[in-house]
Chain A
Amino acid sequence: MTLPELGLQILWARLAWGVVGAALLLSLLPLRGTKPRAAVALLALAAMWLPGPASPAWWLGLAFQQPSGLFAALCGVSVWKRFADRPEQQTLPLALAAALVAGGLVLYADAVGALALGLYPWGFDAPQAPVAAVVLSVLALAVIVRGRQHAAAWAVLLALTFHAVTHLPTGNVFDALLDPLLWLWALARCVAFLIARLRGRATVAPTS
């Protein structure tokens, strides 16, 4: 295992929760113009640096520890979209959401003892873990080169590079790519897609 120092983890948690908070607020508040959006984003970022229980990061850490690099990066994409006025683009593409849901199902089933694969320890020190990280980075690069799902591919690439350099958030490659909140987001994305698909079929289904 190569673990990050506690001080670095505390810095990461505050910064990353700030980005998550900014993305959440900007998606909930109907703000127009750059200045109000910037003010809200800065407020979310600054609030995380309040001392002790005054900081939302204190309570978010109590419940969820730290966000994964990918979750923070996708929230960063979401914030960028608001400023760039591109809300029509999907922050979390369906293919990535489906991969996160499927991967998370196996990882979490193993973690709660329903399976006995030893996946999570693999993410720390298996010789294949760095190879897998590099292969995923190359895949993300290929998606960027093709110009499809550009922003999400950047998020994956940045999360993996950030983990390789800093080992944040925990030293485990799975924690760089997934956390329970991101998994729930991906699940909601897949469920929403399925519901829309079923409704679409019902609408166009011929009556006889």
Chain B
Amino acid sequence: MSRARRSPRMLVLALACVMLGAAAEWRRAAITGATAREPRLAVKPVAGAAKMPRLVPRSSQRIPMPDGVPAAHASALTVLPSGELLAFWWAGSRESAPDVSLYLARWADGRWSSAQKVVDRAGLGRQLGFGVRRIGNPSAWVGPDGRVHVFMVATGLGGWAAARVVQLESADAARSFTVRRVLPLTPLADTSVLVRTNPVGLDDGGWLLPAYFELRNKYPMVVSFDADGAPRWLSRIGRSTTALQPALLPVSGTELRAVMRDIGPSHRVQQAVSHDAGRHWEDVAPLDLPNRDDSVAALRLANGGYVLLHNDTLPGGSPRQWLRLSTSADAQAWTPALDVQRGNAGDEFSYPSVQQLGRQLHVTYTAQRQAIGHQVYDIEDGEGAP
């Protein structure tokens, strides 16, 4: 038998396998090396010092829910090249119910369209070739070619700790979507990784998608994509195990700040900074803004200023009854600017998303877990146009 094992034919075959593998790895390394220029963050230069944005409320409404659907949560905004604003969110009979689906609505000419179903768990399963248990948070981005990329949570066997991130794509302005892939973000059967907040752009047309791990320990991460929507690399944000749902704020071509939900003892908005466009990170001291396990959203405006949506607490109140908007000129020192919603104890206004559309700032958020609220603000300094 030993002779059979060492038969020359088998040895030649084994050697051929090694050479084939080496050639394939060489080719892959050459392709990766040829495209290895690290892109910078897409930050438009601003003449003079960045201005603290001044916001004036313009309108307030709710996005129409699908008929007969009582629960909604976790909206995400993005803007089409046509100037149409898209809102994605999940809705169903209750969180984690089998009928929860991902929906979208369009904001054009000052009003929302009716809700359009993007995908449900049966449709996802058909395209993926395996089952999906729950549908969760979306995040959305429009590539330089106009394709809409939606990253959404779809769980395996278990709760949110079994979450995976599925990448959908639309080439027809979000009228139809196809599944592109499950993002491979952990070695644990791709589980326990979620998305929540919006990507930020890179100067080569790619983008950085914020994500986070959530299985007892919670830590933030970022995934780099090229302009075609193919993942390039994956990086953990800092070393914290009590920060999640990072919202990214580009400061320069290379400096990127992440502000994050906190589940640690500090009860402050957590923070990390990268000086190489997101590839490597260091934790920095938390912001002087309260955070009691609440999701945040943040955006760099076209005039170089920054906005941050976050929950605050009232004495004797409940954690998510007060949703505030703070502003900053440098993404470090923040000043509360206005209340997006200030409800009574037990109310919930949470999980915000924010986008700039011309000289308007659009904010969406979960309203009482029943609908998606929408506030529009005028950017008064006149320098907010993109």
A interface residues, Cβ below 8 angstroms from B: 1-3, 5-6, 9-10, 13-14, 52-53, 57-65, 107-108, 111-114, 116, 118, 120-121, 123-125, 127, 130-131, 133-134, 137-138, 140-141, 144-145, 147, 150, 154, 157-158, 160-161, 164-165, 167, 170-172, 174-175, 178-180
Contacts and interface: CB of A to CB of B under 8 A. Distances in A.
Contacts of A13: 129-130
B27 to A, nearest CB: 9
A61 B130 contact: yes
A130 B26 contact: yes
B47 interface: no
B24 interface: yes
Nearest to B232: A1
Given A1-B231, A165-B20, A10 B28 contact: no
B42 to A, nearest CB: 21
A157 B234 contact: no
Interface string B183-208: 01111111010000000000000000
B15 interface: yes
Given A3-B184, A145-B11, A164-B20, A150 B5 contact: yes
B217 A113 contact: yes
Interface in B144-201: 156-157, 164, 179-182, 184-190, 192
A179 B41 CA distance: 35
Interface of B: 2, 5-6, 10-11, 14-15, 17-18, 20-22, 24-26, 28-29, 31-33, 125-133, 156-157, 164, 179-182, 184-190, 192, 213, 215-219, 230-236, 239, 241
Nearest to A139: B18
A17 B98 CA distance: 26
A146 B289 CA distance: 64
Given A144-B14, A145-B11, A157-B18, A65 B6 contact: no
Contacts of A157: 14, 17-18, 21
Nearest to A59: B131
Given A62-B156, A134-B18, A112 B216 contact: yes
Contact of B235 (A108, A112, A121, A138): A121
B234 A121 contact: yes
Contacts of A10: 128-129
Contact of A65 (B26, B125, B130, B231): B130
6 closest Cβ pairs, A-B complex: A61-B130, A113-B217, A130-B25, A62-B131, A10-B129, A164-B24
Contacts of A3: 181, 184, 230-231
Contact of A58 (B5, B31, B125, B190): B125
Contacts of B235: 118, 121
Contacts of A53: 125, 131
Given A1-B230, A63-B156, A113 B219 contact: yes
A188 B114 CA distance: 55
Contacts of B187: 107-108, 111, 120, 123, 172, 174-175, 178-179
B278 to A, nearest CB: 12
B17 A161 contact: yes
B206 to A, nearest CB: 12
Q: Which of A130, A131, A171, A179 has most B Cβ within 10 Å?
A: A130
Nearest to B179: A6
A134 B131 contact: no
Nearest to B22: A134
Given A160-B21, A164-B21, A61 B232 contact: no
Nearest to A175: B187
Contacts of A5: 181
B21 A165 contact: yes
B157 A62 contact: yes
Contact of B180 (A6, A52, A113, A133): A6
Contacts of B216: 112
A2 B130 contact: no
Nearest to B157: A63
11 contacts: A1-B233, A2-B28, A6-B128, A6-B182, A57-B129, A65-B164, A65-B182, A127-B33, A133-B21, A147-B5, A178-B187
Contacts of B232: 1, 125
A206 to B, nearest CB: 37
A164 B236 contact: no
Contacts of B125: 52-53, 58
B129 A113 contact: no
A63 B133 CA distance: 10
Contacts of A113: 213, 217-219, 241
Contacts of B126: 52
Contact of B21 (A6, A137, A179): A137
A158 B17 contact: yes
Contacts of B234: 1, 120-121, 124
A13 B180 CA distance: 16
Contacts of B192: 112
A6 B181 contact: yes
